[in-house]
Chains A and B, each alone.
Chain A
Amino acid sequence: MDNFWYLFGGLALAWGAVFFYLGSLARRTRDLKQQIDVVQAQLERNKEA
């Protein structure tokens, strides 16, 4: 196939960018959820205090 590496390289990089972004969203979601849980626990402790 002509220009094989341009085609597949381009497609791989493009899809790679999409999945990289997806991964970054997943990581951010996980971190936020963790921090929300921590603050939630602190709020509950304060309420009991």
Chain B
Amino acid sequence: MASSSPPDANLQPQPPGTARVDRAVSIVPAPALIALAAVAMVASLYSALLYAPTDSFQGNIQRIFYIHMPAALTMYIAVTLLFFASVLYLQKRDDRWDEVGAAAAEVGILFGTVVMITGPMWARPVWGTWWTWDAKLTSTFILWLILIAYLMLRAYGGAPEQVARFCAVLGIIGFLDLPIIHFSVMWWRTMHPQPVVLTEGGLGANLPGSMLATVALGMLAALLLFAVLFRYRLRVERMSRRLMAMRRSLDFSQEENL
């Protein structure tokens, strides 16, 4: 994954406006982070499949929870990151926040996809149905749709500067909608297993220690994976913008030569 970026000195003088975009792709390769994430993922898989005890009611299918819940939480973390990046972009108009937003949304969708895959796989044997419009599932599904809408806006929104502004507005609206979505789907109907980790007795009061440890490990693995993918995606975004800036500079210099 390590690669050096082309030196800046070779670029022609920039027409005004592109100077802001032309920035060396400044993501330092972090092999330590990647190694840590890989170890955590393998450890969490082992823990989920072999270390954690079998659930007395649901049987072994319950083990999928150790991927499902961390993935869902990570998606919510991604959208929170997106919200702050959106607000900061609108305040400061610094492209770097727009880049963070783009990366956070896309990686968030990936984790959402994991939730949408593992959810029905769990639901079918346990509840007898692939899908149900219960509170948590519906909320998470709608968030997933909002992130996908964000990506559509990014793809088809028009000029980059306009896209950045529009996506920031959508990021803010989407995030503010989340608590409203939560309450509305909760009041509509509910069928999800009642909270097992966050209960009145405090964090994890009802879970045996080994299960709680497995959840924690799963969460750690999910966050590390998010960090790795996020940086990778951020690098792709910066390379893409650098390419656009270079192309503009090329056009400019070709006009000069005519």
Contacts and interface: CB of A to CB of B under 8 A. Distances in A.
Report if A and B touch in the complex (beta carbons < 8 A).
Answer: yes
Contacts of A4: 60
A22 B236 CA distance: 12
Contact of A40 (B6, B122, B233): B6
B91 interface: no
A32 B6 contact: no
B246 interface: yes
B231 to A, nearest CB: 10
B59 A17 contact: no
A46 B240 CA distance: 22
Chain B interface, >50% SS class: helix
A29 B1 CA distance: 9
B206 interface: no
Given A35-B243, A39-B250, A47-B12, A14 B59 contact: no
A33 B225 contact: no
B70 to A, nearest CB: 11
A3 to B, nearest CB: 4
Interface stretch (B111-119, B148-156, B181-189): B111-119
Interface of A: 1-4, 6-7, 9-11, 13-14, 17-18, 21-22, 25, 28-29, 32-33, 35-37, 39-40, 42-44, 46-47, 49
